[in-house]
């Protein structure tokens, strides 16, 4: 069985694992143990990566290089698991 984290493309997996490990370690563990996220878990991923993105804005509120990676990682996650395909459990 593959899990949510394994399904994230390798180019974004490390940043998602790093950020969730720092900010939401229980969520990271849960995502490593299931095939797809719940709606609540998706919201928690959005919150964690969104906060990290905001912290990586530079002059003129343009994203730094890391901010771009975080934004792309979040976009990839949301594309892979759109909300309409997720359940509350």
31 domain residue, yes or no: yes
59 domain residue, yes or no: yes
Does the pTM surpass 0.75? The reply is: yes
At 87, is the pLDDT very low, low, confident or very high (cuts 50, 70, 90)? confident
Q: What is the pLDDT of residues 28-81, one digit of tens each?
A: 999 999 999 999 999 999 999 999 999 999 999 999 999 999 999 999 999 999
88 domain residue, yes or no: no
pLDDT of 38 reads 96
47 domain residue, yes or no: yes
Its domain, for residue 24, covers 4-83
For residue 24, what are its two tokens?
Answer: 């939401």
Q: Of the candidates 49, 46, 65, which has an alpha carbon nearest to the alpha carbon of residue 57?
A: 65
Query: Whole-angstrom distance between the N-terminal and C-terminal Cα of the chain?
Result: 18
Assess whether pLDDT exceeds 90 at residue 88: no
């Amino acid at each position: 069985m593959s899990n949510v984290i394994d399904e994230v493309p390798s180019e974004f997996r490390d940043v998602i694992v790093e950020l969730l490990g720092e900010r939401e370690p229980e969520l990271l563990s849960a995502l490593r143990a299931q095939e797809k996220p719940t709606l609540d878990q998706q919201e928690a991923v959005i919150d964690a990566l969104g906060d990290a993105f905001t912290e990586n804005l530079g002059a003129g509120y343009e994203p730094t290089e890391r901010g771009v990676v975080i934004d792309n990682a979040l976009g990839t996650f949301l594309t892979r698991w759109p909300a309409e395909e997720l359940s509350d459990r």
